[in-house]
Structure 1
Amino acid sequence: MPAITPSRQHGRVDLPALRKRAKHLLKALRLGQAEPERAQLLSLGRPGPAYQLADSQWLVAREAGFSSWPKLKAHADALDFAARHPGFAHADEAQVQHWRCGNDIEHSLRTAGLRGAFHMLVDPLAMGPVPALEAPAYHRVRCAYIQQAFGLGEAAVQQRQAQEYAALARIDGDSEVVLWCEADAYDQLFLVRLLAGLPALPKRLELIETARVPGVERFIGIGQLAPDVLAWLWPQRRPLGEGALALAREVWAAYTAADPGRWAQLARVQHLPLPLLGPALARQLQELPGVQDGLGLTERLTLRVLAQRGECPAGKVFGQLMLRDDPLPYLGDLMFHALIRPLIDGPQPLLIEGQAEYWGQRPLQLTRLGEQVLAGQAYWLDHQAPLRWVGGVRLASGEGHWAVEADGTLHWR
């Protein structure tokens, strides 16, 4: 049965199309033309051939990511209701500040009928140095990294950072704030940074966060969702209190520290105020050098894709990481490009990059050293690897550094 690609990508459920698919599948089952689907039904004690529409509807629901047709229909009805009833919005929603780690949902929020002010904090805290410094020095470090990593102009970066953090500083006890997040490290670190920067609890502080959306095959982020799905998420927001602020301050101090020990401890704990935080911290911890190869997890997964596929365009490697290989993907395409540059440009590179105008079309292949590092026969930081940071942890070739096992255990090398 063909994959139900549209709804599995943006979350909108086309119920009439799914009903039509179920009818076509029922006909195929009765004609003996849908063997894989028949085998599924056989495993449930439905050998046929007298199949009913309920059988094919169950198969279609499973294909769409639901456990049953009634659950699929209930979800579709909820989305439809949210889209057709603009009264879902709070009476004073116009006073709300919507905060997000990028501008990927601003247009969709407007389309869905939300009218409050939209603010961003797009500093990619999952990359580059995030040291424990006072504000002026910290901002200089972050601006310098963003300029270098993404090839941006100094004035533009400094202006954007100044505007975003100035807006953050204006949040006070009378503010009404709603935060939009998903489960990955990019979003969860944005959440921690914002909450840790609040001097006091605002009058209204609410969080919309999710790790999955029913019907979406590979949920990566709320930016991929249709406006009516954002409308469906809106009533699911929940209030945050002083416990969330205290937790955020503790996590921020741990993430910016030169010693990741406390960070590793926090990554193993279920945090009730912010339940998606622990897994994101654990995933980000894996960006420290692995004890066997010296690679962060994203670097290792990149080399592994190329070892499996051979020479491959960078954009296809990125697509495989996002859609299949990364357990909790957090990178945008430009972030991925910036992350792999040191593997290409270092004095002893792990990757060779071919020619093409757009970076995503440039073919990548492993060097001999890349093959050895991936196999654990060489250690990346022993081969003049460029300086790298993960949070507040500095990783320099030829110097003692922290390394991590797959289970999160830390070692000093």
Structure 2
Amino acid sequence: MSQRRISSTTDGRINLEQQRKRAKELLPRLKTENPTATLSQAQWQIAKQLGFSSWPKLKAHVDAIDFAARHPAFDASDEARTTHWRCGNDIAHSLQVAGFKGEFQMLTDPLCMGPVRDLPGEDFRALRSAFISQAFSLDHAEVTRRVHAEYDHLESLASADHSVLWCEADAYDQLFLIRALAGLEQVPRKLELIEVDRIPGVERFIGIGQLAPDVLAWLWPQRRVIDDDAVQLAKQAWAAYCDSSPIKLAELAQGTPPALPFLAPALRRQLQELPGLHDGLSLTERLSLAYIAEAGPVPFARVFAELMAKREPLPFLGDMMFHALLRPLIDGEQPLLTESAPDHEWPRRELALTPLGHAVLNGNAHWLEHASHVRWVGGVCLTPRHAHWALGDDNQPVWRS
């Protein structure tokens, strides 16, 4: 599942000597504004740009990461019996490089997309397999095999000796987290969580997968034990997400429960995938159309990069997911987008708005009155030209008849 001023890093590692050099280069400019400016003030400004309140705190952070990299004993509690869980394979290699010894498991089901309903296990797996194979043009039999294998492994979470869930704050990860916890009857003997919404020095944090192995080592001691409150909250949130009405999900999204502190913001972002009351667009669709209207014709890959780097408030999509989300805007009987050079790989194809696309983006037409594809947000079904749930001006669900 991919930015930035010169002060930013992308993998979380900060070169202290480079920052010292930057502070020295900054000092003359500060002195033109204030002749009494000092190197310490320049260092403070550099630290502030990187997300620290002081230069000593920046230095302490760099020292902590360096220590974790130089002392492999940090992972003494990571034994062969430990299972590391992730909603993708993006950190599997980095964990090995960092010296982690446990087994790696993942659930790749993109629960932030497609129908997610409260169904018996086999029916749920069949529903998700059908969606994944259709949305990503994958072999249905292979997808079904993988979905069954991953969910079989996930069921073993309840009886595992020691499991650690690695999550970030976006909807993709938080939905994986509540799905994993909601399947538990009670908290296992040792279940821990590492979750993060920012990394010092990384101006635009997209996800754990962008981090260097030694930064994963630095995160390891910050894990915390999952308790009964977290499991019960996950059960409530999962039931609300699977509901055909988004009302309960919206209620949970307004809270700030300490058991899962990143859940509510992720649910608020996921609710923004409901169609807007006036244009029928999800936030992802609206942000994409707005950029294409400004810059188009523009390659598919550049639209995705623009959203991830600047416009998306809580990045949760991989590139293939983004491509799948935009296909209905291109392939419908009354499309909002045109796509050039279909013989090219999709990232290179240029996108441009149709007249209907401009009308919808400007609020002069409603997408669900022209769309050809049924869309889902969790358990909420959105059928073109039928009454449906929408998101009002106050970001609360309303029934649009």
Normalized against structure 1, the TM-score is what?
Answer: 0.92
Q: 2:216 matched to 1:215?
A: no
**Aligned partner of 1:372 among 355, 359, 376:** 359
Q: 2:333 matched to 1:347?
A: yes
Pair 245,368 (structure 1): closer, same or farther in 2 beyond 3 Å: same
* Greater mean alpha carbon deviation, residues 397-406 or residues 91-100: 91-100
Distance 1:128 1:175 in 2: 33
**Cα shift at 1:55:** 2.7
Aligned partner of 2:180 in structure 1 is 194
**Cα shift at 1:333:** 0.4
Pair 315,212 (structure 1): closer, same or farther in 2 beyond 3 Å: same
Matched AA of 1:399? H
Query: Do 1:195 and 1:249's aligned partners in 2 also have CA atoms closer than 8 Å?
Result: yes
Matched AA of 2:208? I
Distance 1:175 1:260 in 2: 36
Query: Do 1:4 and 1:64's aligned partners in 2 also have CA atoms closer than 8 Å?
Result: no
Query: Do 1:176 and 1:205's aligned partners in 2 also have CA atoms closer than 8 Å?
Result: yes
Query: Do 1:286 and 1:406's aligned partners in 2 also have CA atoms closer than 8 Å?
Result: no
Query: Do 1:103 and 1:120's aligned partners in 2 also have CA atoms closer than 8 Å?
Result: yes
Q: 2:116 matched to 1:116?
A: no
Pair 345,199 (structure 1): closer, same or farther in 2 beyond 3 Å: same
Q: 2:395 matched to 1:404?
A: no
Matched AA of 1:373? V
Distance 1:143 1:121 in 2: 13
Q: 2:270 matched to 1:284?
A: yes
Where 2:209 maps in the other structure, the secondary structure is: helix
Aligned partner of 1:90 in structure 2 is 76
**Cα shift at 1:301:** 0.5
Where 1:198 maps in the other structure, the secondary structure is: coil
Normalized against structure 2, the TM-score is what?
Answer: 0.95
Matched AA of 2:301? G
Q: 2:104 matched to 1:103?
A: no
**Aligned partner of 1:65 among 42, 51, 60:** 51
**Cα shift at 1:60:** 2.3
Matched AA of 1:200? Q
Where 2:85 maps in the other structure, the secondary structure is: strand
Matched AA of 2:6? I
CA RMSD of aligned residues (A): 1.6
* Greater mean alpha carbon deviation, residues 207-216 or residues 13-22: 13-22
Aligned partner of 1:362 in structure 2 is 349
**Cα shift at 1:249:** 0.9
Distance 1:177 1:38 in 2: 54
Query: Do 1:94 and 1:116's aligned partners in 2 also have CA atoms closer than 8 Å?
Result: yes
Aligned counterparts, 1:386-405, within 5 A? 386-405=373-392
Aligned partner of 2:65 in structure 1 is 79
Pair 284,139 (structure 1): closer, same or farther in 2 beyond 3 Å: same
Distance 2:241 2:217 in 1: 33
Where 1:99 maps in the other structure, the secondary structure is: strand
Pair 142,357 (structure 1): closer, same or farther in 2 beyond 3 Å: same
Task: Choose between structure 1 and 2 for higher RCO, CA contacts under 8 A separated by at least 6 residues.
Answer: 2
Distance 1:394 1:321 in 2: 25
Distance 1:313 1:62 in 2: 35
**Cα shift at 1:174:** 4.8
Q: 2:171 matched to 1:169?
A: no
Q: 2:288 matched to 1:302?
A: yes
Q: Deviations over 1:172-209 (max 9, x none)?
A: 34521100000000000000000011233111011000
Q: Any stretches of 5+ residues in structure 1 without a counterpart?
A: none
**Aligned partner of 1:151 among 112, 124, 137:** 137
Pair 92,297 (structure 1): closer, same or farther in 2 beyond 3 Å: closer
Aligned partner of 1:9 in structure 2 is 10
Aligned partner of 1:24 in structure 2 is 25
* Greater mean alpha carbon deviation, residues 335-344 or residues 237-246: 237-246
Aligned partner of 2:238 in structure 1 is 252
Q: Any stretches of 5+ residues in structure 2 without a counterpart?
A: none
Matched AA of 1:235? P
Q: Deviations over 1:323-347 (max 9, x none)?
A: 1111111000000000000000000
Query: Do 1:22 and 1:57's aligned partners in 2 also have CA atoms closer than 8 Å?
Result: yes
Matched AA of 2:359? Q
